[in-house]
Amino acid sequence: MLSVSNLSVQFGKRILFDEVSTTFNNGNCYGIIGANGSGKSTFLKIISGKMEPTSGHVSLEAGKRMSF
């Protein structure tokens, strides 16, 4: 299980995410959709640990790893 809690991302004055919280459960398939520039790749970079959010927390079940 991967959990995102109160995730916020801001670039300068532009707020990309504001207090996003969600959970991804094992055994399910998820899609991330949105317009160009809406933050899909940024979100994946944050949950995979390649980028730090402005605030919030991502937690991954012990023994699991995330990549894209």
Give the pairing of strands 2-11 and 55-60: antiparallel
Question: What pLDDT does 25 receive?
Answer: 93
Quick one: average pLDDT of 44-60? Answer: 93
pLDDT at 65 over 80: no
Helices marked H in 1-68: 40-47
pLDDT (tens digit per residue) in 15-49: 999 999 999 998 899 999 999 999 999 999 999 88
- Residue 2 burial class via C-beta count within 10 angstroms: exposed 0-12, middle 13-18, buried 19 and up: middle
Confidence band for 63, pLDDT divided at 50, 70 and 90: confident
How is the chain split into domains, by residue range?
2-60
3-state secondary structure of 41: helix
pLDDT at 10 over 70: yes
